[in-house]
Amino acid sequence: MTNDLIKTADRVMAATYSRFPIVLTEGDGCTLYDAKGHAYTDFVAGIAVCNLGHAHPGIAQAIADQARRLVHVSNLYYTMPQTALAEWLVEHSFADRVFFCNSGAEANEAAIKLARKYFKDRGASKRFRIITMEESFHGRTMATLSATGQAKIHKGFEPLVEGFDIVPFNDLEAVRNAITTETCAVMLEPIQGEGGVQCPASGYLEGLRDLCDKEGLLLIFDEVQTGMGRTGKLFAYEHFAMTPDIMTLAKALANGLPMGAMLAKEEVAASFTAGSHASTFGGTPLVSAAALEMVKTLLDEGVLRNCEKVGQYFKGRLLDLKSKYDFIQEVRGEGLLLGLDLTRDGTYIVKACMERGFLINCTQEHVLRFIPPLIIQEGQIDSLIVCLDAVFQDISNKPNE
């Protein structure tokens, strides 16, 4: 069945993904099962999406209950789950208002549109350019890929959308030098995810905040990957002595149902008025009910605490590996967004781990990225470390495989 399915999939689907040759059929917590009955401990979580793990009983119940009641109505009307979720997000963040959409790219589109309109509304119609970072990732729509600081994501889709100036990450001076009379905002991920788990230098984000205040620019945080508890706090900006003006969320927001959100302070959010922006599916009762259950569980069941504690333990174990293998350059990250930077290609390692029953991810070709469900336990970390140790031992003697 597996081989036939893969053959069919490769024939009928757009070839946009290079997939591993397994067919996943079921999940339970941090474990996934394939069609052949093999079990995998999941350190990918759908790319930082299933933060409460797979088939979470509370989430499943919330989805089922809401599905029996009301799945979708237009945003021409009010609904209870959407309102309750927005209220929760406003109560638990710096923001005053929320716009719901369906993905990270769309959340960033909303942020870009809002930043432009905010300045138009103030008569500064020449201010539309946004400074973004090298190695950033903001999505695959035309505007968000143009904002993304990676040539491989631009390639083939030129001309890019006008208005993005890309500077090196962690270089405050570069941002200062890139500001012109046309600049309206600075947009970045507080920790770069796809870019290889790159953390901000001490004082960098606070420095950006000061710079934006001084120059009258908006500061936009793309927390699509870092939000919803991933770094041990609800939102990554909470690690720093500052807040952005706009924040985008998606990935884990509804623990696997597609949902995005753009949050902003009142003064900024006020530039979105009736008709400014819209989304047919944005914040349907079904996804909102799932997200509402997700955010409650994050706090009620000590998930953030677990993320912080196990994340620290995990990082320590990765550092143990680093002291053992000289092809490990650096261990980076916060909470359960961790990266192992290698001097060699990581593709083979991902494959070898999969064959041993562990799903891990590799980004930028040489950074192993670990983004498991936030409910993962130390015992599961230990098992992965044993696996990595064996794979590393195996390749130490081989050239760049």
Ligand X SMILES: *Cc1c(COP(=O)(O)O)cnc(C)c1O
Interacting residues with ligand X (CB under 6 A): 103-105, 108, 137-139, 189, 193-194, 222, 224-225, 250-251
We find the least distance from the C-beta atom of residue 137 to ligand X, in angstroms, to be: 5
We find the least distance from the C-beta atom of residue 76 to ligand X, in angstroms, to be: 25
In the bound state with ligand X, the residue whose beta carbon lies nearer, of 225 and 297, is: 225
We find the least distance from the C-beta atom of residue 271 to ligand X, in angstroms, to be: 22
Per DSSP, the three-state class of 305 is helix
Query: Closest Cα partner for 36 from 384, 354, 379, 371?
Result: 354
Q: Do 253 and 291 touch, CB atoms closer than 8 A? A: yes
We find the least distance from the C-beta atom of residue 48 to ligand X, in angstroms, to be: 7
- Residue whose beta carbon is closest to ligand X: 104
In the bound state with ligand X, the residue whose beta carbon lies nearer, of 46 and 163, is: 46
Q: Round to whole Å and give the CA distance between 228 and 58.
A: 17
By CB atoms closer than 10 A (0-12, 13-18, 19+), residue 156 is: exposed
- Residues contacting 79, CB < 8 A, separation 6+: 70, 73, 283, 284, 285, 288
In the bound state with ligand X, the residue whose beta carbon lies nearer, of 101 and 318, is: 101
Take residue 356 and report the two structure tokens written for it: 């041993």
Q: Round to whole Å and give the CA distance between 287 and 273.
A: 24
Q: Do 36 and 355 touch, CB atoms closer than 8 A? A: no
Take residue 103 and report the two structure tokens written for it: 């993905």
**Cis (ω within 30 of 0) for the bond into 168?**
no
- Residues contacting 296, CB < 8 A, separation 6+: 88
Q: Round to whole Å and give the CA distance between 79 and 48.
A: 28
We find the least distance from the C-beta atom of residue 56 to ligand X, in angstroms, to be: 20
In the bound state with ligand X, the residue whose beta carbon lies nearer, of 140 and 351, is: 140
We find the least distance from the C-beta atom of residue 163 to ligand X, in angstroms, to be: 18
We find the least distance from the C-beta atom of residue 147 to ligand X, in angstroms, to be: 9
We find the least distance from the C-beta atom of residue 193 to ligand X, in angstroms, to be: 4
In the bound state with ligand X, the residue whose beta carbon lies nearer, of 235 and 392, is: 235
Backbone angles phi, psi at 134, to 5 degrees: -60, 145
In the bound state with ligand X, the residue whose beta carbon lies nearer, of 104 and 333, is: 104
We find the least distance from the C-beta atom of residue 249 to ligand X, in angstroms, to be: 10
In the bound state with ligand X, the residue whose beta carbon lies nearer, of 27 and 149, is: 149
In the bound state with ligand X, the residue whose beta carbon lies nearer, of 82 and 103, is: 103
Rounded to 10 degrees, the C-alpha dihedral 352/357/362/366 comes to: -30
- Residues contacting 314, CB < 8 A, separation 6+: 336, 338, 370, 381
In the bound state with ligand X, the residue whose beta carbon lies nearer, of 189 and 245, is: 189
